[in-house]
């Protein structure tokens, strides 16, 4: 169900759930296909809007996954920096 602030979507709940479960590589590859379909032209308005919505959902999924990886890398780097700062001190002997 939509309200005045939420535009209707051509993506089904099942499609949205499938995208939400996709690994990064699959989301990226399908995003590339959606962009190529739009760039190729020849689609009617409804088909173009569907490709756009699909692309938006896939881009959000890929960006979310990249954000998770970035957070893990940042945490690992912070942990490594902390360990390097205490190396050779009494703090790491406890």
| pLDDT per residue rounded down to tens, the chain (94 residues) | 444 554 568 899 999 999 999 999 999 999 999 999 999 999 999 999 999 999 999 999 999 999 999 999 999 998 888 887 776 666 555 5
Q: What pLDDT is recorded for position 82?
A: 86
pTM of the model: 0.74
SS3 sequence of 34-88:
HHHHHHHCCCCHHHHHHHHHHHHHHHHHHHHHHHHHHHHHHHHHHHHHHHHHHCC
CA-only gyration radius of the chain, Å = 21
């Amino acid at each position: 169900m939509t309200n005045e602030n939420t535009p209707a979507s051509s993506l089904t709940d099942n499609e949205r759930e499938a995208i939400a479960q996709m690994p990064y590589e699959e989301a990226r590859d399908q995003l590339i296909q959606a962009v190529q379909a739009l760039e190729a032209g020849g689609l009617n308005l409804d088909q173009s809007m569907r490709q756009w919505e699909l692309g938006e959902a896939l881009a959000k999924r890929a960006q979310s996954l990249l954000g998770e990886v970035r957070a893990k890398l940042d945490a690992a780097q912070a942990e490594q920096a902390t360990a390097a700062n205490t190396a050779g001190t009494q703090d790491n002997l406890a």
